[in-house]
Structure 1
Amino acid sequence: MFDRRLLFQAFGGALTLPTLESVASAEQSTETAPTRLLVVANPFGAHPEHFFPAEFGKDFRFPKTLRSLQWLRDRISVLSHTDHNMKSGHGREVAFLSGVLPETSGAFPEKNMSIDQVVARRTGGQTRFDSVHACLERSIRMSWNANGVDIKPFTDAKRMYDHLFMNLTTEQRLERKELLQRNGSVLDAVRDQFAGVRKRASKNDQVRLDLYANSLRELESNLVGRQQWVDKDKPEFDLSGYFNGTEITIESRYNAVFDMVAYAFQTDLTRVATIGFSPELKYTDVKGVTRGYHACTHNGKNEDTVSELVAIEAFQVAQLSRCLKKLDEIPEPHAEGSMLDHTVVLFGSGMGYGGTHSNRNLPILVAGGGFKHCGHVDTRDASGDNMPLCNLFVTLLQRFGLEYDQFNQSTGAFTFEDYLG
């Protein structure tokens, strides 16, 4: 028999793919500029009249929600009329980065694996952390691994700091090495048992076992990587300035999160990061906001409530803008341009507009990444049908050298150049 208890003992009770440290160090990087991915998302979409510009093309006027991004005009694309072709309502937002709900994922080659994790699978072997995830307060569940398990983000900035920048003590490093050695021994035993089980398995069982085989290979590779990183110090980052004084605001907390991600990119700790804005966040320290976020989405078109909702959404985009300015101020090593020019940035939501629970016309923008950006575009086809958001995902995956011509519900690839006037 295949002894699953061995895996339970070593890897916490399930054969999933945890975020493990990888093989190559930043010092071993070649002189080829890396491409990074930053995804920023909220749970309840955006008020459409204040997110989507009134004009199409590159000369659009920035609406209130996007006004903080005016400095980025030539390096931004706002996509109108994209969706995942799902019925409207809560619960569909978990499909933002995959286009697939967990309960229907079996029909798709990548299941409901999110694009950030597809990219992390490609880039993770070159950095200390495959990917980094943060969503202060309760998660909005947007990152899913190859086994269909949602990746838990850091919900506290200080714990995120410990993970990224706190070095182990000498005693902790010895304990970590011993743990890795034990886990490696368990993995060896599991692999030997697995080989025997697969020989006797039926064709249907072999398909299921192939998923375990992929996980075993990645676990083995990443365990080797963790061993190489144990004795290497992490870069230094000063978190104290974000939490001085008696009042800690939502702005200071997210400043810390975004700045840690920017520095993790700069020091090549990771090349993939996702940042979410939780549905439980309190925005009452944002100017003009007196109500809860969810309550503001159910505004009944009341002007005062809509104004508060737009203030919240503008704050979210302003946090993104601040981070992108930091990346744009850092020259890209070994290449022309800034780090932003080599970072694919995706902002959006798996819900179109919370006021109607609509999952059509998702609020999507792409920045940086070296694309030939096209301003505000109407992605509907000649029949007036919305473009599958997965078409954009195909293009983003191709930017990382991944040979995709289809991803889940895509019908093709989104081509930026097609919308240039």
Structure 2
Amino acid sequence: MNLNRRMVLKSMGGTLALPLLESLSFAAPRPTTAPTRFLVVGNPFGMHPEHFFPTDFGKDFTISPTLRSLEWLKDRMTIISHTDHNMVSGHGREISFLSGVLPTDAQAFPEKNMSLDQLFARHIGSQVRYPSVGAALDSGIRMSWTANGVEKLPITDPQELFNHLFLNLSPQEKEQRREMLQRNASILDTLGSQFEGVKRNASRLDRDRLDQFQTSIRELENSLADRETWLDRDKPSFDIADHFVGETTIANKYDAMFDMIAYAFETDLTRVASIEFPAELNYTDIDGVNRSYHGCTHNGRGEDLVKELVSIESFQIARLTRCLNKLDSIREPNSEGTMLDHTIVLFGSGMGYGGTHSNRNLPVFVAGGGFKHRGYIDGRDNSGNNMPLCNLYVTLMQRFGIERDSFNTSTGALDLSFS
């Protein structure tokens, strides 16, 4: 086959990975015990450190101004300071938030630059209708990456997210979708037979990539026959209208997205979700905010700009807080506790603070998930070195049921036991 590397990967990615991963799922019975879920919420510019991090360590820490809306959750969350990916600071590194690895360096690591949420999605994959769901109100902050190094873009419109999660297909649309799935099955068989010919003419690096991709194809082939069963199963109902009575604000748009994610968790449509607060979003309908989000991060320590920035960051936390309240109000059938007790919630950023473009001391906390939480902890070791953030990810993986003791740049696991 006389195909260059870009054509091969592009053709396979277009006909195999992207269309199929978009609808990859097949029927499974509801679990008899509460499943573990994962919600990650991220932003591109970190947090103003003096307002985000508490002033005292330990379980009885004093809640910080930015996190004030989470006061009620103090004993069920862990805030971690002095943790990062040990990268030179500057824009562009923040895309490593959930992987610890930049795309340019990915080949040196076992999981490449696959993000934590997509690792979880791969682990759950066939048990739910949607292995993962991502949402934002503008173009993404590039925090979600598949095993093939492809950025997984979020859904950026609440109505589109509603249609994706809850709108059932008409009989005609179901038949069209069924035909599409059947065509894709034959395409997989055809392209699968071409791999050996392509690999013989490929470089070592390309052979590694093709091996990884071939593994993905085998996983898809194993699920193709069952995916069609979802077409005949109606999605759960959800009413989005209440969120858009009167003026449509950034608050009720995000509240609608968070509510849809919570309901998708409750009905087991998915167990992995991400919400992004993107860089170019306009927050000027928040009281006291007159500048852009990005503009507020370049504040030169100006008091007025810092105040606006902290208002934006507090708004982000408040939207998440409302979602956590909702999760905590949902009792889990066949299990003790609430949905929040069975949902690992991670908040953070791949940038420490946008005002200095620092990628060190990332603002991170974990809530819920059944952990024995530790309040506010210092991630530094006895020598004063920051903890690799991937150490936390190892702990989250183990809680999610992935029996691993390493993830990319990790050096161990964070001591955060769970029941």
Task: Name the TM-score class by shorter chain.
Answer: over 0.9
Q: Distance in 1 between matches of 2:185 and 2:405?
A: 37
User: Secondary structure, in 3 states, of the residue corresponding to 1:365?
Assistant: strand
Structure-2 residue corresponding to 1:177: 178
Aligned length: 415
Q: Which amino acid aligns with 1:226?
A: R
**1:222 Cα deviation (Å)?**
4.0
The verdict on how the C-alpha distance between 1:313 and 1:366 changes in structure 2, with shifts beyond 3 A counting, is same
The verdict on how the C-alpha distance between 1:310 and 1:201 changes in structure 2, with shifts beyond 3 A counting, is closer
The verdict on how the C-alpha distance between 1:6 and 1:100 changes in structure 2, with shifts beyond 3 A counting, is closer
Structure-2 residue corresponding to 1:116: 117
Q: Taking every aligned residue pair, what percent have the same amino acid on both sides?
A: 60
**1:201 Cα deviation (Å)?**
7.9
Structure-2 residue corresponding to 1:159: 160
Structure-1 residue corresponding to 2:338: 338
Q: Larger deviation: 214-223 or 170-179?
A: 214-223
Q: Distance in 1 between matches of 2:196 and 2:42?
A: 42
Establish whether residue 99 from structure 1 lines up as the match of residue 100 from structure 2: yes
Query: Are 1:136 and 1:277, in contact at CA under 8 Å, matched by a contact in 2?
Result: yes
The verdict on how the C-alpha distance between 1:219 and 1:396 changes in structure 2, with shifts beyond 3 A counting, is same
**1:77 Cα deviation (Å)?**
0.3
The verdict on how the C-alpha distance between 1:3 and 1:75 changes in structure 2, with shifts beyond 3 A counting, is same
Query: Are 2:27 and 2:227, in contact at CA under 8 Å, matched by a contact in 1?
Result: no
Q: Distance in 2 between matches of 1:150 and 1:242?
A: 30
Structure-2 residue corresponding to 1:47: 48
Establish whether residue 237 from structure 1 lines up as the match of residue 238 from structure 2: yes
Q: Distance in 2 between matches of 1:283 and 1:37?
A: 27
Q: Distance in 1 between matches of 2:333 and 2:275?
A: 25
Structure-2 residue corresponding to 1:19: 22
The verdict on how the C-alpha distance between 1:398 and 1:280 changes in structure 2, with shifts beyond 3 A counting, is same
Q: Distance in 1 between matches of 2:43 and 2:201?
A: 47
Structure-2 residue corresponding to 1:223: 224
Structure-2 residue corresponding to 1:283: 283
**1:354 Cα deviation (Å)?**
0.5
| Runs of 4+ more than 4 Å apart | 2-11, 13-17, 195-206
The verdict on how the C-alpha distance between 1:145 and 1:288 changes in structure 2, with shifts beyond 3 A counting, is same
The verdict on how the C-alpha distance between 1:379 and 1:260 changes in structure 2, with shifts beyond 3 A counting, is same
Q: Distance in 1 between matches of 2:291 and 2:65?
A: 19
Residue-by-residue CA offset, 1:300-354 (whole Å, 9 max, x unaligned): 1111111111010000001111001100000112110000000000000000000
**1:45-84 equivalences in 2 (<5 Å):** 45-84=46-85
The verdict on how the C-alpha distance between 1:182 and 1:381 changes in structure 2, with shifts beyond 3 A counting, is same
**1:51 Cα deviation (Å)?**
0.4
Structure-2 residue corresponding to 1:354: 354
Residue-by-residue CA offset, 1:275-303 (whole Å, 9 max, x unaligned): 00011111111111111111111111111
Q: Distance in 1 between matches of 2:360 and 2:8?
A: 45
Query: Are 1:21 and 1:229, in contact at CA under 8 Å, matched by a contact in 2?
Result: no
Structure-1 residue corresponding to 2:260: 260
Task: Give the TM-score normalised by the residue count of structure 1.
Answer: 0.94
The verdict on how the C-alpha distance between 1:192 and 1:2 changes in structure 2, with shifts beyond 3 A counting, is farther
Q: Distance in 2 between matches of 1:174 and 1:220?
A: 20
Q: Distance in 2 between matches of 1:11 and 1:201?
A: 17
The verdict on how the C-alpha distance between 1:169 and 1:416 changes in structure 2, with shifts beyond 3 A counting, is same
Query: Are 1:374 and 1:417, in contact at CA under 8 Å, matched by a contact in 2?
Result: no
User: Secondary structure, in 3 states, of the residue corresponding to 1:64?
Assistant: coil
Structure-2 residue corresponding to 1:132: 133
The verdict on how the C-alpha distance between 1:359 and 1:203 changes in structure 2, with shifts beyond 3 A counting, is closer
Structure-2 residue corresponding to 1:146: 147
Query: Are 1:78 and 1:377, in contact at CA under 8 Å, matched by a contact in 2?
Result: yes
User: Secondary structure, in 3 states, of the residue corresponding to 1:19?
Assistant: helix
Q: Larger deviation: 184-193 or 377-386?
A: 184-193
The verdict on how the C-alpha distance between 1:94 and 1:398 changes in structure 2, with shifts beyond 3 A counting, is same
Q: Distance in 2 between matches of 1:196 and 1:59?
A: 62
Gapped regions of structure 1 (runs ≥ 5): none
Establish whether residue 187 from structure 1 lines up as the match of residue 158 from structure 2: no
The verdict on how the C-alpha distance between 1:232 and 1:203 changes in structure 2, with shifts beyond 3 A counting, is same
Q: Distance in 1 between matches of 2:13 and 2:409?
A: 33
**1:373 Cα deviation (Å)?**
0.1
Structure-2 residue corresponding to 1:213: 214
Q: Distance in 2 between matches of 1:324 and 1:284?
A: 25
Q: Distance in 2 between matches of 1:222 and 1:3?
A: 29
Residue-by-residue CA offset, 1:366-392 (whole Å, 9 max, x unaligned): 000011000000010000010000000
User: Secondary structure, in 3 states, of the residue corresponding to 2:131?
Assistant: coil
Q: Larger deviation: 202-211 or 43-52?
A: 202-211
Q: Distance in 2 between matches of 1:114 and 1:339?
A: 24
Q: Distance in 2 between matches of 1:183 and 1:68?
A: 48
Structure-1 residue corresponding to 2:414: 414
The verdict on how the C-alpha distance between 1:349 and 1:10 changes in structure 2, with shifts beyond 3 A counting, is closer
User: Secondary structure, in 3 states, of the residue corresponding to 2:78?
Assistant: strand
Q: Distance in 2 between matches of 1:57 and 1:151?
A: 37
User: Secondary structure, in 3 states, of the residue corresponding to 2:377?
Assistant: strand
**1:127 Cα deviation (Å)?**
0.5
User: Secondary structure, in 3 states, of the residue corresponding to 1:367?
Assistant: strand
Query: Are 1:20 and 1:222, in contact at CA under 8 Å, matched by a contact in 2?
Result: no
The verdict on how the C-alpha distance between 1:85 and 1:73 changes in structure 2, with shifts beyond 3 A counting, is same
Q: Distance in 2 between matches of 1:249 and 1:122?
A: 36
Gapped regions of structure 2 (runs ≥ 5): none
Q: Distance in 1 between matches of 2:321 and 2:83?
A: 23
Q: Which amino acid aligns with 1:346?
A: L
Q: Distance in 1 between matches of 2:178 and 2:3?
A: 24
Q: Distance in 2 between matches of 1:400 and 1:298?
A: 38
